[in-house]
Chain A
Amino acid sequence: MSQQSLTTTPASPSGAGGGGALPRGSRFGAERAFRILATAAGSTVLVIIVAIAAFLIAKAIPSLRADSENFLTFKDWFANESPPTFGIAALAFGTVVTSALALIMAVPVALGIALCLTHYAHRRVASTLGFFIDLLAAVPSVVFGLWGRDYFRGPVSDLSTFLHDNFGWIPIFGSKGPYGASILLGSIVLAIMVLPIVTSLSREVFLQTPKHNEEAALALGATRWEMIRTAVLPYGKPGIIAAVMLGLGRALGETIALALTLGAVYNVSFDLLGISGNTIAANIALKFAEANPTGRSALIASGLVLFAITLVVNVTARAIVYRRREFLGGAA
């Protein structure tokens, strides 16, 4: 045991030579205790995840048995009826579409702000702006939801009219109205909500770029933007992916803001402007209070699907980061 540990801990001062016998004993005991502790902590996380999955599955099965439609392809949600008919199709679609749209809008802006804060703005301006961004992250989501529903719907309706009048030939802007509680409204509100998370995480990521790599790019004659493209963005890529994934996690799970701003319509449509849209989490919030036992079980089944979507997203992100690992050295 101690032989083994000596070869695996080159930092050990005894390895560096010097006279006398090699010390034995307690150091390795402490190391072993720490290893056990770390393993235990790691496995606890796994156990909790498995337990949650098992709980969801057990609670979901009764309603899935009772469902007289195909749960995966049916769009509507009549889980309290008898016989209950409900399906995840529209909700899963709405969840993915609103989150994706929110990220498409938020990520470029967030990265732009983060780069501005780290590489362009004067230090004092940057810290003030950073403070306000962090403040935005602290606003509760119900506030965003109410603001979106009561104040932001008007402007978004005007925007919808504009988009339809000018780009109506694109199917996603095809709706003639009425406008209001639409996927557009929901995903813009969602974008504003994920913006601060993605911004402050990617700001941290960009600050980590080694100065000597930035200087290497500048010394080759790069402009500031070229330096960012050569040194900062590639180095930060795993971190940016992680930041986007955390934003996506927030977007996928967002409940109340979307319950307040989407149309709560069970449809599968890429029409962004008309009254439309619903998500798994928003549907749970809207339906839970009035649900009977089968209804609750059905909502839990939908929660299981959300869990699965989040898992797939995270595994994909890991895979992307992992594939490039040898080029990322300490960064990954």
Chain B
Amino acid sequence: MAKRIEAVNVSAYYGAFRAIDNISMTIEPKSVTALIGPSGCGKSTFLRSINRMHEVLPGAKVEGQLLIDGQNIYDRDIDVTAVRRTIGMVFQRPNPFPTMSIYDNVVAGLRLNGVRKKSLLDAACEKALRGANLWNEVKDRLNRPGAGLSGGQQQRLCIARAIAVEPQVVLMDEPCSALDPISTLAIEDLIAELKNEYTIVIVTHNMQQAARVSDRTGFFSIDKTGEPGRLIEYDDTAKIFTNPSVKRTEDYITGRFG
């Protein structure tokens, strides 16, 4: 199921502006990796280059290699849609499709893959919603609009939508930043469960959250605005938060910087 991600000298650009510079890191399967750092240091940009969502923006491009189980997803003959199906994504703002019911939201990805059979869709919908800890709350109103749920429920709906296609990797970009503390806890519990099946990379600027949910943590930073973001330190979460080897990491996590 889960796959290893290896970034080799990944740089990403918005037009001529280089947002991240030469990022190399290896992310183990079935683990949670947190990316932390001050805002604007390129965490989202790096995350979006893992499933080739970065290039969706006009003028955006990526250099370097990104290997998923040894396969470079930036190779010329790679099917982008297949990459994105393998590597799901949950966004900062919950973004269920506003015109769709809860059910249709969850199975949207399967329908895109050509699954039409009602029984298959029903089963996948239930499985994904259970996986996202949302089933009990919505099982009686699957045909109600997804946009009618609370923010936290919407975000879990988006997680259900992402895992319904059974990806190998789930990327999350500050999935809790728009949520209240209780919904945040629900999502954090969920992440701990999802790790049994998926490789998870989560961007957060909440350091407690990184410490709570992740196995390994990468600290990104920039020298000053206009400079590209770099990976400063990448290690086990416990080590980063108790005994970081780089001074800048320590300054950041003790609140002296950023």
Q: Is the interface of A mostly helix, strand, loop or mixed?
A: helix
Total contacting residues, chain B, CB less than 8 A: 31
A329 touches B53 (CB 8 A): no
B89 is an interface residue with CB less than 8 A from chain A:
yes
Shortest B57–chain A CB gap in Å is 9
Chain B CB count within 10 A is highest, among A221, A226, A328, A331, for A221
Q: Quick one: closest A residue to B144, CB to CB?
A: A326
B99 touches A328 (CB 8 A): yes
Q: Quick one: closest B residue to A238, CB to CB?
A: B99
User: Residue B99 contacts which of A212, A216, A219, A234 (CB distance < 8 angstroms)?
Assistant: A234
User: Residue B53 contacts which of A215, A230, A231 (CB distance < 8 angstroms)?
Assistant: A215
Cα distance, A223 to B114, chains bound together (Å):
13
Q: Quick one: closest A residue to B101, CB to CB?
A: A327
Shortest B208–chain A CB gap in Å is 26
Q: Which residues of the partner chain B approach A230 to less than 8 Å between Cβ atoms?
A: 97, 108, 112
Cα distance, A331 to B147, chains bound together (Å):
12
A75 is an interface residue with CB less than 8 A from chain B:
no
Q: Which residues of the partner chain A approach B81 to less than 8 Å between Cβ atoms?
A: 221-223
Shortest B125–chain A CB gap in Å is 14
B38 is an interface residue with CB less than 8 A from chain A:
no
A216 touches B95 (CB 8 A): yes
Given the known interface contacts A223-B81, A331-B98, the answer about A217 and B108 at a Cβ–Cβ threshold of 8 Å is yes
Cα distance, A216 to B154, chains bound together (Å):
13
Cα distance, A4 to B83, chains bound together (Å):
56
A210 is an interface residue with CB less than 8 A from chain B:
yes
A207 is an interface residue with CB less than 8 A from chain B:
no
Q: Quick one: closest A residue to B51, CB to CB?
A: A219
Cα distance, A115 to B227, chains bound together (Å):
37
B58 is an interface residue with CB less than 8 A from chain A:
yes
Cα distance, A237 to B99, chains bound together (Å):
9
A123 is an interface residue with CB less than 8 A from chain B:
yes
B85 touches A231 (CB 8 A): no
Q: Which residues of the partner chain A approach B84 to less than 8 Å between Cβ atoms?
A: 218-221
Shortest A124–chain B CB gap in Å is 12
Q: Which residues of the partner chain A approach B51 to less than 8 Å between Cβ atoms?
A: 219
Q: Which residues of the partner chain B approach A237 to less than 8 Å between Cβ atoms?
A: 99
Shortest B150–chain A CB gap in Å is 15
The interface bits of chain A over 108-146 (1 if a CB of B lies within 8 angstroms of the residue's CB, else 0) are: 000000000000000100000000000000000000000
B88 touches A219 (CB 8 A): yes
Shortest A148–chain B CB gap in Å is 39
Cα distance, A168 to B186, chains bound together (Å):
67
B230 is an interface residue with CB less than 8 A from chain A:
no
Q: Which residues of the partner chain B approach A328 to less than 8 Å between Cβ atoms?
A: 98-99
Shortest A239–chain B CB gap in Å is 12
B185 is an interface residue with CB less than 8 A from chain A:
no
Shortest A208–chain B CB gap in Å is 12
Interface residues in B70-96 (C-beta closer than 8 Å to A): 81-85, 88-89, 91, 93, 95-96
B112 touches A327 (CB 8 A): no
Q: Which residues of the partner chain B approach A235 to less than 8 Å between Cβ atoms?
A: 97-99
Cα distance, A216 to B53, chains bound together (Å):
10
Cα distance, A153 to B100, chains bound together (Å):
47
User: Residue B165 contacts which of A213, A221, A231 (CB distance < 8 angstroms)?
Assistant: A221
Cα distance, A241 to B238, chains bound together (Å):
57
Interface residues in B197-238 (C-beta closer than 8 Å to A): none
Cα distance, A123 to B51, chains bound together (Å):
25
Cα distance, A235 to B148, chains bound together (Å):
16
B58 touches A327 (CB 8 A): no
Q: Quick one: closest B residue to A221, CB to CB?
A: B85
Cα distance, A226 to B85, chains bound together (Å):
13
Cα distance, A183 to B53, chains bound together (Å):
50
Q: Which residues of the partner chain A approach B53 to less than 8 Å between Cβ atoms?
A: 215, 218-219
User: Residue A216 contacts which of B145, B148, B158 (CB distance < 8 angstroms)?
Assistant: B158
Given the known interface contacts A328-B99, A329-B145, the answer about A216 and B82 at a Cβ–Cβ threshold of 8 Å is no
B113 is an interface residue with CB less than 8 A from chain A:
yes
Q: Quick one: closest A residue to B82, CB to CB?
A: A221
Shortest A249–chain B CB gap in Å is 25
The 9 closest A-B pairs by CB, nearest first: A221-B85, A234-B99, A220-B109, A219-B89, A212-B95, A221-B84, A221-B81, A216-B95, A329-B98
**15 CB < 8 A contacts A-B:** A212-B95, A213-B98, A215-B53, A215-B95, A216-B97, A218-B84, A219-B84, A219-B88, A220-B88, A220-B162, A221-B83, A221-B85, A222-B112, A231-B97, A235-B98
* A contacts, CB < 8 Å to B: 123, 210, 212-213, 215-223, 226, 230-231, 234-235, 237, 324, 326-331
- Known contacts A226-B112, A234-B97, then 5 further A-B pairs from the complex at CB < 8 Å, ordered by chain A residue: A212-B95, A213-B97, A216-B96, A220-B85, A234-B100
* B contacts, CB < 8 Å to A: 51, 53, 56, 58, 81-85, 88-89, 91, 93, 95-101, 108-109, 112-113, 145, 147-148, 158, 161-162, 165
